[in-house]
Amino acid sequence: MTKINYLVRRASSAVVDLLVFAICCKLLEPIFGEKNLDGTYSFDSGLVLILFYSFYLIQDIFFKKTIGKYLLKLELNFEKPSDLNGYRKYLKIVLRRLFDLIELVCPLIYILFIISTKNNQKLGDLISKITVRPVYTAPPAARSI
């Protein structure tokens, strides 16, 4: 896979994840949001940040990838998987996701780190020693005729 193709897939994955998060927030607004004078609902910004962090963290911990990564066939890879027993794997995921809030406020950080690092890692990936790679799929077996 070319670097351009990978970068497009990675960025598309992030956009898909943000769209899914926005849809989920819109669906949850009548339940958790405050009703405004004009009849619309809105969330407190602190609640949005908690929902944002929880949304991504739950996907990574329970499904090992986000919806965007699943659709675009990307996965998380740990630098030294043999050292990750029990809670260490989850601590690395939590650490990785802590930097998402910074990248949400300043997307330029996200873009600059992915473009400029050797393994196309964002800030949270570098610190937690995680890479995002395409899912390896075995080539189809040759058929006998």
As a whole number, mean pLDDT of residues 42-64 equals 89
Mean predicted lDDT score pLDDT of the chain: 86
Q: Rounded to whole angstroms, what are the CA distances from 121 to 4, 36, 40, 138?
A: 14, 41, 39, 25
> Residue 74 — pLDDT band, cuts 50, 70, 90?
very high
Q: Residue 86 pLDDT > 70, yes or no?
A: yes
**pLDDT tens, 93-133?**
999 999 888 888 888 888 888 889 888 899 999 999 899 99
As a whole number, mean pLDDT of residues 35-58 equals 87
Distance of alpha carbon 90 from alpha carbon 121, whole angstroms: 18
Q: Residue 144 pLDDT > 70, yes or no?
A: no
pLDDT at residue 33, as a whole number:
81
Q: Residue 139 pLDDT > 70, yes or no?
A: no
Domain ranges of the chain: 3-134
